[in-house]
Amino acid sequence: MKLTQDQKNFVEDLLSRMTLEEKIGQMNQESPSIVGGFDVPFSELIEMLTDGRISQEEFGRIMANAKQDFHEDDIRAGRVGSQMVKDPRQNNALQKIAVEESRLGIPLIIGFDVIHGFRSVFPIAIGEACSFDDALFEETAHMAAAESRAHGINWNFAPMIDAARDSRWGRVSEGPGEDPLLGSRFARAKIRGLQNDQSSPLSYVAACTKHYVAYGACESGRDYNTTSMSVSNLYNVYLPAFRAAMNEGAATVMAAFNDLNGVPCTVNRWLLRDVLKKDFGLEGFVVSDANAIRECVIHGIAEDDRDAGVQAALAGMDMDMGTHIYKDHLAAEVEKGTVPMAVIDEAVRRILSVKVWLGLFENPYVPEALIEAYEKGLPEEHIALCRKAAEESMVLLKNEGGLLPLSRGQKISLVGKLADDANEVCGAWAMAWKPEDCVSIRMGLEAAGADVRYFPCGGPEGEIDFEEADRACREGDVIVAVVGETDAMSGEASSKAEISLPGGQRALLERLLASGKPVVTVLMNGRPLALGWEAEHLPAILEAWHLGIRMGDAVAAALLGDVNPSGKLSSSFPAVTGQCPVYYNHPSTGRPGSKSKFTSRYLDSPWDALYPFGHGLSYTGFAYDGLCVEETADALEICVKLKNTGDREGTEVAQLYLQDVAASLVRPVKELKNYSRVTLAAGEEREIRFTLPKQDMGFYDNEGQYRLEDGLFRIYVGGSSRDCLMKEVRIAF
Ligand code: NOJ
């Protein structure tokens, strides 16, 4: 985000003409609130949704019919800087009030949770990250930006780039997984896709990277829980994606709910002012997460709302999401002198700068023709990109005896409630999809010409119909069982203490296996599951996540061999829940897990991942050979021969890892340093080259200082974090 001198002058001029109330208004974000007509308060309604007393659909219906207050009077009075609405005509109406009826005519910045697509829903981020395809990350973000803007949304609360290593946390679904390098490349590509195409006023939005920071490290994987860690761990694992996003020019940041080492991120001056704004150079603004300023009172870091507001403002929190604390308390605090006017001016300058950069003063509205165009349906190229993203995000975990792909001649018994529920394909944080765009796995198989019969039998919730399962076994040559989680089982406030297949699904799989028919398992889920039993007993497992609106087409294409799976895991899968957090790049211990007793292991389960980061099979095979490492003045040049050993074309993600063998702080057993997607024809061999700049071979210490330390390094290249060739090099920087 860069402003011209003229734009900067415009901001300063505007700022100089604003009253204190108008300035604080810019720091206030509203969302529509429900008025009247309810037998139960809104908070109770949310609880009813959460504990299952009403379904998502019922909730949606209630909300659609409820009368909502969009805070028009406050907008007119200059007391609102931002809104959260997805309807384009409503957004035009609100902008009209802001631009034409408020004293200074400052447009609203309109934010929304467009996390993995708007109406074109792409795979959930943990799935999309499995493509290891930076160009795809960028393309899907670019399309999400265009669709958002066509609906009056100019600020996307994305990308979510929390490194997450504990799959009990429901929000692992929203981010790119456990690795800081993959997370950083995902972050950069998303920022480019959302922000960089300024060819038209409606082709870009402001990104909001979140949740700053270490939210993914919440203790026990329980959402909103406390986090504590060393400075070195913070800098090496949790901050890199944010640093990368800032280097790419991300316009805004959302602070995380959690405390970090005792100070909630919302009021954490060191994190917001020193690290984010000063060191990383954020040019835009920071927004709190929903109600987070008020929650500082419950955290026990502030005595009351007023105190929380003062702490947040002083810490560098520029915008208040949803509490009205700034609106209600800041003016008095400025007058008393507790909050200097300079703090307010800095926040407002940042917010206005983003609005100016977005071109909102010139183009606040969505043209009616564009609204109507979207009402007619999704453009073909949007659907095609949804399908491509879904195809690249699947990971073939296991394929014993080449059971997959199936042939069109085989009679398929498709089992599992999830297999024919088009409402379940989008996953968590998808809020603008239309049922008519969604393709279930059953629909996909039928459209692809498979010989398929469907037997729901049951799913993640409720009873299993075992008789129906027996019928499915009798009537098919092969069973395709679709099992996993509903979309509500991951995402915010969806942590779980047990992450094996929920409900009676394992019993269903046992029953299917007992028939002796081959059972292919397709997983639909929002988090790595504990699959120890499944990996041992099932011959073929395709991880399909929640792949978005074209999920059914993509899964059908993979099952029938029209698409060769190429995804690699962005997060490690445990065998049992008790292994969480399990991740590949853990610090070396003095007693690495092994068969002998006094090592870092469990008595009752494996110590390492069942399916590690980077794992993923193909319908062809790949062999690595001839690893070479050459040192130049400022880099290592690494080459390896990669051969497609099978009889069909396939795409492999070649991965480069590094281990710093001895350093002044314990380093990870392996760290991803680069990757490359390579498509090879049957039998083709190609040399893959990676350049590893020496500058990238260091790490951050407990003062947050980057260190390059001479000594021995191991270079690994392979097709997963577990399966690599290795060479040692000694480096003096
Ligand atoms: C809460 C979530 O933590 C955050 O990710 C989201 O963007 C905001 N609410 C706004 O909906």
Average pLDDT over residues 243-261: 98
Task: Label residue 254 exposed, middle or buried (CB < 10 Å: 0-12, 13-18, 19+).
Answer: buried
Mutate to test the pocket of ligand 1, among 33, 86, 174, 210 (most ligand atoms within 8 A of CB): 210
The per-residue pLDDT for range 481-503, each reduced to its tens digit, is: 999 999 999 999 999 999 999 99
**Is 42 a residue whose pLDDT tops 70?**
no
End-to-end CA distance of the chain: 34
Determine how many CB atoms are found less than 10 A away from the CB of residue 32.
18
290 CB near ligand 1 (under 6 Å): yes
The per-residue pLDDT for range 382-432, each reduced to its tens digit, is: 999 999 999 999 999 999 999 999 999 999 999 999 999 988 999 999 999
- Cα of 289 from ligand 1 centre, angstroms: 6
**Is 234 a residue whose pLDDT tops 90?**
yes
Going by C-beta distance under 8 Å and a sequence separation of 6 or more, which residues neighbour residue 482? 414, 415, 416, 418, 419, 441, 521, 522, 524
Window from 51-55, 337-341, 546-550, 679-683 with minimum mean pLDDT: 51-55
- Cα of 493 from ligand 1 centre, angstroms: 11
212 CB near ligand 1 (under 6 Å): no
- Give the mean pLDDT of the chain: 96
What pLDDT band is residue 732 in, cutting at 50, 70 and 90? very high
**Backbone φ, ψ for residue 170 (5° rounding):** -65, -25
174 CB near ligand 1 (under 6 Å): no
What pLDDT band is residue 34 in, cutting at 50, 70 and 90? confident
What pLDDT band is residue 225 in, cutting at 50, 70 and 90? very high
**Is 152 a residue whose pLDDT tops 80?**
yes
pLDDT at 98: 98
Question: How far is Cα 98 from Cα 94, in angstroms, rounded to an integer?
Answer: 6
**CATH C-level class of 10-32+70-372:** alpha beta
- Coil/strand/helix, residue 553: helix
What pLDDT band is residue 39 in, cutting at 50, 70 and 90? low
pLDDT at 49: 74
395-399 vs 320-321, strand pairing mode:
unpaired
Give the residue, 45 or 548, on which the prediction is more confident: 548
Residue nearest (by alpha carbon) to ligand 1 atom 3: 289
Average pLDDT over residues 92-104: 98
Peptide bond into 456 cis (omega under 30): no
The per-residue pLDDT for range 304-324, each reduced to its tens digit, is: 999 999 999 999 999 999 999
Residue nearest (by alpha carbon) to ligand 1 atom 11: 113
- Cα of 677 from ligand 1 centre, angstroms: 33
- Cα of 300 from ligand 1 centre, angstroms: 22
223 CB near ligand 1 (under 6 Å): no
**Is 57 a residue whose pLDDT tops 80?**
no
Q: Please report, for the chain, the start and end positions of each structural domain, with discontinuous segments joined by +.
A: 10-32+70-372, 33-68, 383-579, 622-731
Going by C-beta distance under 8 Å and a sequence separation of 6 or more, which residues neighbour residue 357? 1, 2, 3, 7, 206, 251, 284
431 CB near ligand 1 (under 6 Å): no
- Cα of 265 from ligand 1 centre, angstroms: 14
pLDDT at 282: 98
Question: How far is Cα 431 from Cα 1, in angstroms, rounded to an integer?
Answer: 27
- Cα of 290 from ligand 1 centre, angstroms: 6
pLDDT at 38: 58
Q: Listing from the earlier edge strand, what are the strands of the sheet with 28-29?
A: 285-287, 252-255, 206-212, 155-156, 109-112, 82-83, 28-29, 320-321
Catalytic positions, written as ranges: 289
Q: What percent of the chain has pLDDT over 90?
A: 94
Q: What percent of the chain has pLDDT over 70?
A: 99
**Is 671 a residue whose pLDDT tops 90?**
yes
- Cα of 287 from ligand 1 centre, angstroms: 11
113 CB near ligand 1 (under 6 Å): yes
pLDDT at 121: 98
- Coil/strand/helix, residue 438: coil
Structure tokens at 5: 């001198």
pLDDT at 35: 76
- Residue 111 CA: which ligand 1 atom is closest? 10
Question: How far is Cα 320 from Cα 30, in angstroms, rounded to an integer?
Answer: 9
pLDDT at 63: 77
403 CB near ligand 1 (under 6 Å): no
The per-residue pLDDT for range 419-466, each reduced to its tens digit, is: 999 889 999 999 999 999 999 999 999 999 999 999 999 999 999 999
pLDDT at 43: 65
The per-residue pLDDT for range 588-610, each reduced to its tens digit, is: 999 999 999 999 999 999 999 99
Q: Which CATH number does 622-731 carry?
A: 2.60.40.10
**Is 37 a residue whose pLDDT tops 60?**
no
pLDDT at 642: 98
- Cα of 253 from ligand 1 centre, angstroms: 12
Mutate to test the pocket of ligand 1, among 286, 490, 492, 494 (most ligand atoms within 8 A of CB): 492
546 CB near ligand 1 (under 6 Å): no
Mutate to test the pocket of ligand 1, among 33, 169, 254, 266 (most ligand atoms within 8 A of CB): 254
Nearest to 183 by CA among 248, 253, 237, 261: 237
Helices vs. strands in the chain: H and E counts, helices first: 23, 27
492 CB near ligand 1 (under 6 Å): yes
Instruction: Determine whether domain 383-579 maps to CATH 3.40.50.1700.
Output: yes
Residue nearest (by alpha carbon) to ligand 1 atom 4: 289
210 CB near ligand 1 (under 6 Å): yes
Question: How far is Cα 472 from Cα 457, in angstroms, rounded to an integer?
Answer: 9
Question: How far is Cα 213 from Cα 246, in angstroms, rounded to an integer?
Answer: 14
622 CB near ligand 1 (under 6 Å): no
The per-residue pLDDT for range 612-663, each reduced to its tens digit, is: 999 999 999 999 999 999 999 999 999 999 999 999 999 999 999 999 999 9
289 CB near ligand 1 (under 6 Å): yes
Residue nearest (by alpha carbon) to ligand 1 atom 9: 290
Going by C-beta distance under 8 Å and a sequence separation of 6 or more, which residues neighbour residue 418? 424, 441, 459, 460, 482, 483, 484, 486, 524
